[in-house]
């Protein structure tokens, strides 16, 4: 009796251990695979090699691929995903039933299950597929289309939806109030369009746009500063360009445009120290390579010409995931008149003014002297004439005194007759 009980206990224990070992053999941790949009994905599935293999792949319990090895040969079927999935048949005999998914799209996301049956048993693998569209770049431009100056930051074809933030360098105490729009296309990819009105009274600010995604990829940044510079033809001019402090050992690109399309000026690599300039700019520009690793990429423009070098100069500092652009609208004034032709007219002009002033002075003096001469001819100013006039005056008065009665009654004849 005891022996029977002992044997039954041992059988139960052995069956229990066998079940545990079978479960352990079949229980495989879920695998998470992240793929990029429009790329090829590999969903792994491995199992102990054995004969008479049968492989079935399911997505959300819907069959997408099946393989069976039989006496009549191998049978391969692709039930879904428009023939974009496959398993390499020659690898199956080695225990590899990895599913190849071509040109992944966002709709391919989900849980996949690999079920393998062999002469030795069954095996299951779960694969969680994530499909993402990472940030591959962003643009930052100055726009005046809204009637005022604003910075526009755009990132395209991203999934999941990105997050856009703005900062300035140096920091400002004013509130930044960007307006950001998210738009998804037919494939589910997002385009973020964020606009920030430029702050008034702070022309030298660097505006920085930062874009990140929820899946934890790198944060991309793009920054921009605008300037206006004026120079004169024939005089060397320095076009400034300074990188923010967070860019270390950047690559520097200088470009130029005057409405006829961009032209490359030069490229400088801070790590290698190599500088490559494009003719004919190599005869008119100079860059201090020792300053570039420290953030000073200013360009010296030598012997500029009005018709050739007036335009927009752009310098771009770049490191992985980060760019900084400084754009300068440079106006080169036209040629001045040469010294041989300009000095003579200018001196004659000065001489003419001096002669005119002298003439006016002489005329004023002549008028003054003439007026003074007229005044000097008056009787009260000549003693002889005054004496003569007094004599005449005294004689007249005596005559009037002697004939006073006649003169007094000259107006009335009746008085004399009386």
Q: Do domains 27-132 and 222-337 have the same CATH topology?
A: yes
Domain positions in the chain? 27-132, 134-218, 222-337
Tokens of 61: 């319990």
Cβ-count burial 346-366 (b if 16+ within 10 Å, e if not): eeeeeeeeeeeeeeeeeeeee
Pick the CATH number of 134-218 from 3.20.20.20, 3.30.930.10, 2.60.40.10, 3.40.50.10680: 2.60.40.10
State the pTM of this model: 0.67
Residue entry with tokens 């002549």: 366
Q: Cβ-count burial of 41 within 10 angstroms (0-12 exposed, 13-18 middle, 19+ buried)?
A: buried
Strand order in the sheet with 85-87: 41-43, 99-101, 85-87
Is the link from the previous residue into 406 a cis peptide, with omega within 30 of 0? no
In angstroms, rounded to a whole number, what is the distance separating the alpha carbons of residues 239 and 314?
A: 10
CATH class of 27-132: mainly beta
Nearest to 153 by CA among 84, 86, 227, 209: 209
CA 329 to chain centre: 13
CATH topology of domain 222-337: Immunoglobulin-like (2.60.40)
Tokens of 282: 């190599």
In angstroms, rounded to a whole number, what is the distance separating the alpha carbons of residues 143 and 327?
A: 13
Q: What is the pLDDT of residues 82-130, one digit of tens each?
A: 789 999 888 998 999 999 999 999 999 999 999 999 998 999 999 999 9
In angstroms, rounded to a whole number, what is the distance separating the alpha carbons of residues 151 and 148?
A: 10
In angstroms, rounded to a whole number, what is the distance separating the alpha carbons of residues 284 and 92?
A: 66
Backbone angles phi, psi at 395, to 5 degrees: -60, -45
pLDDT for position 334: 83
* Neighbour tally for 140: CB within 10 Å: 21
Instruction: Reduce the DSSP state of residue 265 to 3 states and report it.
Output: strand
pLDDT for position 192: 96
What one-character DSSP code corresponds to residue 318? E
The parts of the chain modelled with pLDDT lower than 70 are 1-29, 71-73, 336-347, 374-418
Contact (Cβ atoms closer than 8 angstroms) between residue 200 and residue 211: no
In angstroms, rounded to a whole number, what is the distance separating the alpha carbons of residues 130 and 381?
A: 121
Is the link from the previous residue into 202 a cis peptide, with omega within 30 of 0? no
Tokens of 65: 């691929």
pLDDT for position 248: 83
Q: What is the pLDDT of residues 272-296, one digit of tens each?
A: 888 899 999 999 999 988 888 888 9
What one-character DSSP code corresponds to residue 294? G
Instruction: Reduce the DSSP state of residue 263 to 3 states and report it.
Output: strand
Contact (Cβ atoms closer than 8 angstroms) between residue 98 and residue 43: yes
The vertex-132 CA angle with 131 and 136, nearest 5°, equals: 150
pLDDT for position 59: 92
């Amino acid at each position: 009796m005891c022996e029977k009980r002992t044997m039954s206990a041992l059988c139960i224990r052995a069956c229990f251990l066998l079940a545990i070992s079978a479960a352990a053999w079949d229980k495989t941790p879920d695998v998470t695979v992240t793929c990029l949009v429009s790329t090829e994905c590999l969903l792994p599935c491995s199992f102990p090699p054995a004969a008479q293999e049968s492989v079935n792949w399911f997505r959300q319990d819907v069959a997408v691929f099946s393989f069976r090895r039989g006496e009549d040969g191998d049978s391969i079927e692709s039930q879904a995903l428009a023939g974009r999935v496959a398993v390499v048949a020659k690898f199956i005999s080695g225990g590899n039933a990895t599913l190849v998914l071509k040109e992944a799209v966002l709709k391919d996301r989900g849980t996949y299950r690999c079920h393998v049956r062999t002469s030795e048993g069954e095996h299951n693998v779960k694969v969680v597929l994530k499909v993402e569209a990472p940030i591959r770049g962003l643009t930052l431009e100055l726009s005046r289309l809204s009637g005022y100056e604003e910075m526009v930051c755009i990132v395209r074809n991203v999934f999941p939806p990105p997050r856009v933030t703005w900062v300035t360098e140096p920091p400002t105490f004013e509130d930044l109030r960007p307006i950001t729009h998210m738009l998804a296309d037919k494939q589910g990819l997002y385009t973020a369009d964020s606009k920030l009105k430029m702050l008034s009274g702070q022309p030298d600010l660097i505006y920085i746009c930062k874009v990140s995604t929820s899946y934890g990829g790198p944060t991309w940044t793009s920054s921009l500063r605008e300037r206006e510079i004026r120079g004169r033809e024939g005089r060397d001019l320095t076009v400034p360009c300074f990188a923010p402090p967070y860019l270390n050992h950047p690559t520097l690109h200088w470009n130029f445009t005057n409405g006829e399309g961009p032209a490359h000026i030069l490229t400088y690599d801070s790590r290698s120290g190599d500088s490559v300039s494009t003719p004919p700019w190599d005869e008119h520009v100079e860059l201090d390579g020792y300053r570039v690793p420290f953030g000073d990429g200013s360009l010296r423009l030598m012997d500029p010409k009005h018709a050739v070098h007036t335009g927009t100069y752009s310098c771009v500092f770049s490191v992985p995931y980060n760019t900084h652009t400084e754009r300068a609208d440079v106006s080169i004034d036209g040629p001045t008149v040469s010294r041989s032709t300009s000095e003579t007219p200018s001196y004659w002009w000065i001489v003419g003014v001096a002669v005119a002033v002298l003439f006016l002075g002489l005329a004023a003096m002549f008028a003054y002297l003439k007026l003074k001469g007229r005044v000097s001819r008056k009787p009260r100013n000549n003693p002889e004439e005054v004496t003569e006039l007094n004599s005449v005056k005294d004689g007249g008065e005596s005559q009037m005194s002697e004939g006073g009665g006649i003169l007094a009654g000259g107006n009335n004849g009746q008085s004399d007759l009386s």
